[in-house]
Structure formats: C-alpha cells, structure tokens
Amino acid sequence: MEKINLGVIGLGFIGKVHLRNCLNLKSVRVVAAAADSSKKALNYARNFGVKQLFTDYNELLKLKDLDAVIIALPTHLHAECAIKAMEEGKHVFLEKPIARNIEEGQKIVSVAKKNGVKFMVGYPLRFAPEFVNLKSQIESGILGDIQLAYGVNIAAGPFFHRVESTMPHPVPEWWLNKELTGGGVLVDLGCHMINLLRWYFGEVTDVKARLGYRFNFDFEDYATCIMNFEFGASTVVNVGWFSQNTVVGVELFGTMSHARAYFSSSSKVVIAIKLIMGKTPKFFIPYLNEISHFVNYVKNDGDSENRLSGQDALRDLEVIAKAYKNQIK
C-alpha cells in the first residue's frame, strides 16, 4: 500500500488540525471529509483540495476506496461513529477519550477486534519530543528508581481563544452536558496525564481524587489525583480548565537524579503566521507525529507497533472511574 486513502470526520478545532497535518504526509491521500451542516467547515476542507464532502458521515463511510478514517467528533458520538466505521471495514484513528464510559469503550474495542481493523486512540503527549525524551531517561536508568512524580495540565478547556481569532468562540452545548461528555476536566485533560504516566510507570494500583467546581457546573472544572503505580512510583496530578495560560508538564524524582519536561509552544501570533504559511507550528508537531504513527501502522500489513491501542485507552477510563468513586472530601 503506497498511499492510504483517508477521510476526516469532524472539522472542529482538532479535526482541522488533523486535516492540515494529513496534507503534509506523503503517504496519505485525503479523499473525503464530513462535518455537520456547517458550510464554513466544509468550505475549509474544500479550500485544501478535498473533493468529496459530506454532511452525513454515514455517506462517507460507504466510499469503497476509503482505507481509514480520523474521527474528531464530540465524545458522545465516538462509539456510534467508530463502530459504524469498523463495521464498514475502515481502520480508525479516534480522538481521546475513547468514549464516555467503560461500557462504550469496551464495545468499540470488541468491534475493532471482531472486524479485524486497526484502531488507535489519539494521545499527542506520547508523541511530544519532550515527553518521549523523558521516557528514554527513565528507561536508561540515569534517574534511578522513580519514587515521586508530579504532572500538571492546566488550560482553558472549552473556554479558550482559538489561534485563528482574537475573539472567544461560543462554547458548543455538548461541552457543558455531563451526559454527553462523560465527565469534566478529569475526562478531558486528566486522561492525557494518566495515559502518559501509565506509559512511564505501568498500571495504576490505587487512585484518589479531589474535585473542584470553580464555575459551579455539575461536573468538575479542576481536580487533583493521587495515584500509585505498579512500578513503585507515587504521583500527584493537577488538571484544570481555569487559565488561558496553558501549562503541561511532568517532573520526576528518582533515587539517582530528577528530571522535568514541560510542553512549550509558540505564541498565538507565531502559530497563526506559520499556519498561513502552510507550515506546522510547534504546538501541532505531536499531532502530526501521532497521525504519522497511525498511517505507518495501517500501511504495515504485519503486526507493527501500535503505541496507543484501544485497550490501552480503555484503561485510562477505568482509572478515571475509580478516581470519581474514591473522592477525597
């Protein structure tokens, strides 16, 4: 397979990021895109040369020459769309979290296995050079045994200003509906940090959480998790939706040394300029790397590495469910 024919389902902020990144991959041919009834979103794809555009993703999934899809829809649509794609024999890259709850996630994983399709969940932090380097330091033994770790992921959540505009965008209604999201910031940002730390330290053996409600929603908008891992590390993770100044990082404290990695990004102005010039800003490099990984995984007919399987992403939901259950008052 020289090139894979790929479709993008969902053209919100992340969907557009994936679309642009796919156009920079020589081994990908973006043949179709689907969005809701938004003409602006479909015109965005059309301006990048995508020929087949749909307001109903079911029509996109019927394309015979389509090998794989990227699904960047709201969380409550993940299971329905992913399962339909898999039943049509399409390989699937699905944005995190895998689903709203464990039951939905289990069904997606089961259908992928039943239909023999390749399935990957998007967690860009595992593809950020800073955090990949930290993984190498752990494995080299230069830090000794990691005893304590700290992770942070603070951002604005649904309230952030997009780089292509100086004005805040209206918050989509589904973001503020717990039934549609499966939870608050712990699901949205906590899954990133849990997934990354599981990559470093193995499975979580114990977790407790303190949830905060700054904005008085019926879901948490900041949270602190205390976790123990099978390889012995104890970690504290803070996540929040209360700041326009994004901070994403990990600090490790071992018996020999300590290390830290913080994901850094350019200013919004620099990002906007690079986008206009058709270049990939630093902030989007991990997203480009993960899609490249997925494409290589699909192209390889044998059992190639899949750094982020559906089963792996399902474990993140299991940890989050335990965190919700084991709350510290």
What's the pLDDT tens digit per position in 128-177? Answer: 999 999 999 999 999 999 999 999 999 998 886 555 555 666 788 899 99
Which of 121-135, 254-268, 271-285 has maximum average pLDDT?
A: 121-135
pLDDT at 125: 96
Strand, coil or helix: 225? strand
Considering the chain, tell me which residue range(s) the CATH 3.40.50.720 domain(s) occupy. 4-124
What's the pLDDT tens digit per position in 105-138? Answer: 999 999 999 999 999 999 999 999 999 999 999 9
pLDDT at 269: 46
Considering the chain, tell me which residue range(s) the CATH 3.30.360.10 domain(s) occupy. 125-277+310-325
pLDDT at 162: 54
Mean of pLDDT over the chain: 91
The verdict on pTM exceeding 0.85 is yes
Q: Per-residue pLDDT for 218 more than 70?
A: yes
Specify the fold of 4-124: Rossmann fold (3.40.50)
Cβ atoms 28, 20 nearer than 8 A:
no
**Cα separation, 136 vs 155, whole angstroms:** 27
**Cα separation, 18 vs 267, whole angstroms:** 20
Q: Which amino acid is at 288?
A: L
State which H helix or E strand residue 150 sits in: strand 146-154
Distance in Å from the first CA to the final CA of the chain = 55
> What order do you get walking across the sheet with 258-262 strand by strand?
204-212, 222-229, 234-240, 146-154, 247-254, 258-262
Q: Per-residue pLDDT for 102 more than 80?
A: yes
Q: Per-residue pLDDT for 272 more than 90?
A: no
pLDDT at 263: 87
Q: Per-residue pLDDT for 227 more than 90?
A: yes
CATH class of the structural domain 125-277+310-325: alpha beta
pLDDT at 172: 85
Higher pLDDT, 262 or 280: 262
